[in-house]
Amino acid sequence: MPEPAAADPWSALTPEGVAAALGAAALGAAALGAAVTDGAPRWWLSGGAALDRFVGAPIRDRENIDVSTIPAHLASVIAGLPAGLSAWVGQDDDEPLIAWAGADPASDIQRVLVRDDARGVWVLRINVEDGAARAWMYRRDPRLQVPWDAAVIDRDGIPTGAPEIQLVWKALRPRPEDDVDKDAVLPRLSPEAVTFFETALLRIHPHSTWSIHVRSPVFPARPSWNRRPGAGA
């Protein structure tokens, strides 16, 4: 049987299928920040799956499904996969994948793909995010921290990444499909969540195309954003 490649086809699990495969996940600051000593490892829906869960319906078609965990819990998440599912490590789509058993646990693993071996398809992507005992931390910029009980919320029994945080992840280099997600989610956010998103956007990703549309007295827009018709170049 040939080695799997990141470009192989997907048949993504549903959120309910993910919960069945990974088992129950505890919520809470101490549990999420500590290494697994007993009980379930910690994971949560992330990316587009989290946004769909927040909205209550699919925003658009998605090829894959994401969950996230933290480094201290990754091995336990993988160990709990049902028989017939295998885990493969690869940071970039064009590099060879390494079977989990052959991966260096001390390396900076950021992504694990889960494969249904019988069908030869990918079913789940596991992203490794950062966190401390009391707070989730943005992997791209640790200045952005959110208490665990706000960063991961319960949506009908499935732990789900807060939608405003998922939008921050998408803001670095938003694609047209990310614009669709943002436009579906942003009107549904609470005023506090909108403030968080806009503040994080301007502090962490000020050059994002999404930042152009944000105005704040604390983070004034650049002159080029507000240029009047007829003004000089």
Residue entry with tokens 């699919």: 58
* pLDDT computed for residue 169 by the predictor: 97
Determine how many CB atoms are found less than 10 A away from the CB of residue 194.
16
CA distance 233 to 231: 7
Q: Which residues make Cβ contacts (< 8 Å) with residue 86, sequence separation at least 6?
A: 99, 100, 114, 115, 117
DSSP string, 116-178: ETTTTEEEEEEEE-EE-SSEEE-TT-TT-EEEHHHHEEEETTEEEE-HHHHHHHHTSS--HHH
Residue entry with tokens 């949560």: 44
Q: Please state whether beta strands 121-128 and 66-69 pair in parallel, antiparallel, or not at all (unpaired).
A: parallel
Q: What is the mean pLDDT of each run of 10 residues along the chain (233 residues)?
A: 88 96 65 49 95 98 97 93 95 83 89 97 97 92 96 95 98 97 98 96 94 64 36 35
Ordered by where they begin, the domains of the chain are: 15-162 (3.30.460)
- Taking only the tens place, the pLDDT of each residue in 123-150 is 999 999 999 888 999 999 999 999 999 9
* pLDDT computed for residue 231 by the predictor: 34
* pLDDT computed for residue 224 by the predictor: 32
Q: In what order do the strands lie in the sheet with 145-147?
A: 130-131, 135-137, 145-147
Q: What is the pTM of this model?
A: 0.86
* pLDDT computed for residue 28 by the predictor: 52
